[in-house]
Each structure stands twice: as structure tokens, then as C-alpha cells.
Amino acid sequence: GRTVVVTGSASGIGAATVAMARARGATVIGLDRDASASDTIQVDLVDEASIAAAAAALPERIDVLCNVAGVPGTAPDQTVLAVNLLGPRHLTQLLRPRLAGGAVVNVASAAGAGWPALLPEINELLATTTIGDGLAWFARAAPPADAYSFAKAAMTVWTARTNWDWLPDGPRLNSVSPGAVETPTLADFRATMGPALDRIGGLVGRFGRPEDIAAVVCFLADPASEWVKGQDILADGGFHGARATGSL
């Protein structure tokens, strides 16, 4: 069977991804701050030493890395940037030799869909190489977006760029950008977005379920999608159509 590593495995979209990948026959190893579940390795994605220790505990061959762990915009800016972008970047770079020919799937967010307008600042951030340097750049530069949207936008850009840099042997990288999904995080979005969140949920009929996103992650993890590379798939129940009307 295939070996799949999933960060954020203890909750929400990560937990749904673990369950779906296992049901399809993969050997799944979780990585999370909360390592109470079986087959889970403890990691704190803000800390390079912790990431290195977790990487050392993983097998020599890995078919798929799913970077799902994240924290909402209600967390401190530095934590948001580290957990949602800089830590997963570090982990992916460490695991790259073991992932040759395989796939990386990153969970970004619909909140990052405005990345083209932020490209100059994102590229400045991506020019840093360590978590510490990335955080120092963010504190200094104060880019024109909140930390969550900026980190998610940068995740989408980093995915496409790194896929390009690592061609042709890979691993290939793709991302998924969820709209609002019913997990413990939804309460945080309600706090930051206010009534707009429930209005969006009403317009598209329902909020996403963790399985809605896990299905896209599993598709991008599967060899059947191997010609899809450096792509972002927006899974938001159709709300992107409101942008296409030009009324947003």
C-alpha cells in the first residue's frame, strides 16, 4: 500500500483525510500538535527543531504528504504565518528526497484567492528560507493583508512555484482552497467575518463538510491526477461565482 503523511490529523479536514485515505488502503501517519490518536507523531509546526524530529521519525519512503494543519486568523499573526505557511514549507523541504515521484497536497483557503494582488510581497516572503527569517520579514514589512489571508495566498503561490522548481521529478505539488467548512475553526471565522459568513453559507446552500475537502485532497494525492501539477482547486460550494459576477 501507499504511505501517506497528513498534518493536522487530529481534527477537522485532516482527520477526514486520514479516514478517507485509510479507507482506500493507504498506510497513514498523522502529524499533529495533539498526538493522542494512534499512528500519530507529535509536532509543533512553528518550531524547526520539532519539525526535524518528526521528519526523522517518518519512514524512508513516503508517497504523499498532505499539509492540512492550520490555525485561524484569531491566533497571533506570527503563529498564523508559521503554522499555515512557513512550518509546512520547512517540513516539505525536509521530506522532499523521500517523496520523489510522489505528491504533496497543501490546504490553503478561499481567503487566499486574492494572491495576484499580493504577488510582490508574497515573493519577498518566499525569498526567506527559515521560519525565523520569514517571521522577521512579516513583522518588518506589514504586507497589505491580514496574516491569515496573506499566509494562505502565499501557500497557493509557493505551491505553484515549488512545483515548477521541482519539475520534472517532483514531488508534484497542488493545493486545495476550501470555503467555509464545518470544523471547530468555523467559530473563529464567524468571529472575524461576522454575518457575512452565514450569508455566504445561505447563498451556496450549506457549509462545506470536512469530507468535501478530504475528497479533493485524496484526488490530488492519487496517481490518477498525476498530470495535474502546481494547481489550486477552489472548493467553496460555488461562491467563487459571486466574484465572477464582478459584484464582490
234 forms bridges with which residues in the sheet?
A: 177
For residue 103, give the nearest of 132, 67, 144, 153 by alpha carbon. 67
- Compute how many other C-beta atoms are within 10 angstroms of the C-beta atom of residue 107: 29
**Catalytic annotation, pick one of 115, 137, 138, 148:** 148
Give the rounded distance of the alpha carbon of 203 from its chain centre: 25
The residue type found at 232 is: D
The partner residues of 3 in beta bridges, in order of sequence, read 27
- Do 14 and 33 form a contact (C-beta atoms < 8 A)? no
96-104, 116-124, 177-185, 214-222 -> range binding ligand NAI (CB under 6 A): 177-185
Closer CB to ligand NAI, residue 53 or residue 223? 53
Minimum distance from CB of 21 to ligand NAI (Å)? 15
Q: Hey, which residues between 50 and 109 contact ligand NAI (CB under 6 A)?
A: 68-71, 83-84, 107, 109
Which of 2, 3, 4, 14 lies at the binding interface for ligand NAI (CB under 6 A)? 14
Residue span binding ligand NAI (CB under 6 A) among the ranges 9-17, 116-124, 131-139, 157-165 = 9-17
Among 10, 21, 173, 235, binds ligand NAI (CB under 6 A): 10
**Residue 148 is among the residues annotated as catalytic for this protein:** yes
**Amino acid at residue number 173:** L
Taking the C-alpha atoms of residue 78 and residue 245, their distance in angstroms, rounded to an integer, is 35
The HSE-up count of residue 75 (CA atoms within 13 Å, CB side) is 15
- The distance of closest approach from Cβ of residue 227 to ligand NAI in the complex, given in angstroms and rounded to an integer, is 25
Binding flag, residue 181, ligand NAI (CB under 6 A): yes
- Pick the closer one to ligand NAI by CB: 25 or 198: 198
The residues, ordered by sequence, that sit 6+ positions from 174 with a Cβ below 8 Å of its Cβ are 103, 104, 105, 106, 159, 163, 220, 225, 228, 229, 230, 231, 232, 233
Asked if 180 interacts with ligand NAI (CB under 6 A), we say yes
Q: What is the total count of residues that contact ligand NAI (CB under 6 A)?
A: 29
By the rule CB under 6 A, 20 interacts with ligand NAI: no
Nearer to ligand NAI, 37 or 119 (CB): 37
Report CA torsion sign: 20, 23, 25, 31. Answer: positive
Q: Can you tell me which of 19, 27, 35, 44 binds ligand NAI, judged by CB under 6 A?
A: 44
Paired with 175 in beta bridges are: 106, 232
Active site residues: 148
Q: Which residues bind ligand NAI (CB under 6 A)?
A: 8, 10-14, 32-34, 43-46, 68-71, 83-84, 107, 109, 178, 180-181, 183-186, 189
